[in-house]
Amino acid sequence: MKRIGEVVRSAQGVAVVRCRDRSRPEIGTALVDEQLTAVGKVVDVFGPTTRPYLALSAEGEPAALLGAAVYSRPGLNDSK
């Protein structure tokens, strides 16, 4: 499991994730929380290339994810 970043805000029905570094998941990648519960999929990447932001279409209420760490899991997105 790889930590992607942290949810820093919610806006217009999506959760905004700040990446930890320049590595980022591809659009369409499913992300999970610390309990391996699916939290949503990446729908956009924007901002600086050194630490980009992700727009995450949340499974539930985006505001409920504020401050949460999000992760990608190998094998989770293999059935695209």
Residues 48-59 pLDDT 10s: 999 999 999 998
pLDDT at 74: 74
Residue 73: pLDDT band with limits 50, 70, 90: confident
68 pLDDT more than 80: yes
pLDDT value at residue 80: 46
Domain 2-72 belongs to what architecture? Beta Barrel (2.40)
Reported pTM: 0.88
**Stretch 10-17: mean pLDDT:** 94
Q: Where are the domains of the chain?
A: 2-72
Q: Which long-range contacts (CB under 8 A, 24 or more apart) does 58-64 make?
A: 58/10, 58/14, 58/15, 62/7, 62/10, 62/11, 62/13, 62/14, 62/15, 63/10
Average pLDDT over residues 20-25: 93
